Amino acid sequence: MPQSGRAIAFFDLDNTLVRGSTMFLYALTAWKHKQLRLIDIIRFGWHQLTFLTVGETDAHSVVAQSRGLALIAGRSVAALAEIAHAAVRDAVGSRLITASLDRARAHLERGDEVWIVTASPLAFAEIVAADLGFTGALGTEVESKDGIATGNLVNAPLHGRRKVDAITKLAKAKGIALADCSAYSDSRNDIPMLGAVGHAFAVNPDRGLTREAIRRGWEIIPIRQKRRA
């Protein structure tokens, strides 16, 4: 971790800050609130299992996006936000990853900003960030009209190279050099983001990221789950 100067620490969300898929946790909470069918949870459960065993892949991201958008289409933004708050309160907190959370808090204590950078919906990521006391979040923007989710995206998902564009824009707006910033992720898909900053950390990395971290000399951080009181 850098020792001096104002900076930003960027954290991926799924399997970096939170064990597994946060969208599955959202879906599970929605089912408990009788907003989803059992078959929807079974499908999300299989999706969660493959994510935990093989990690994030391009196919995983496409499936997650299409299923997630289909489930929210036609629902009120206010109701979706209510479920998101419940998911963060009841499910996300018990699956936080100790090593990443400790790093994030250390950055905050030094005066750095801490931002979540995720392909998950921006509104959900912002709720997670606020709950954790982070500075903010960058995520995929979901379209709504007259307070109703359309099931479409405003732009392409915040994934791969788009994360680099997003953190570059944020850092530039704040007058902070990316060379002074840090990034944390578990996935090979975030190698571009990790390579764009001065201090990269691989959190329980998949095979592709493990190879790249070893090649580039990035620190590899093992994980333990953290259960909040």
* Positions marked active-site: 12, 14
Helices (H), 33-97: 38-54, 58-72, 77-87
What's the CA gap between 200 and 194, in Å, rounded? Answer: 5
Structure tokens at 66: 């299409």
- If DSSP codes are grouped into helix, strand and coil, which group holds residue 222? coil
Rg, C-alpha atoms of the chain: 17
In terms of Cβ atoms closer than 10 Å to its own Cβ (0-12, 13-18, 19+), residue 103 is buried
In terms of Cβ atoms closer than 10 Å to its own Cβ (0-12, 13-18, 19+), residue 41 is middle
- If DSSP codes are grouped into helix, strand and coil, which group holds residue 115? strand
Structure tokens at 43: 């499908």
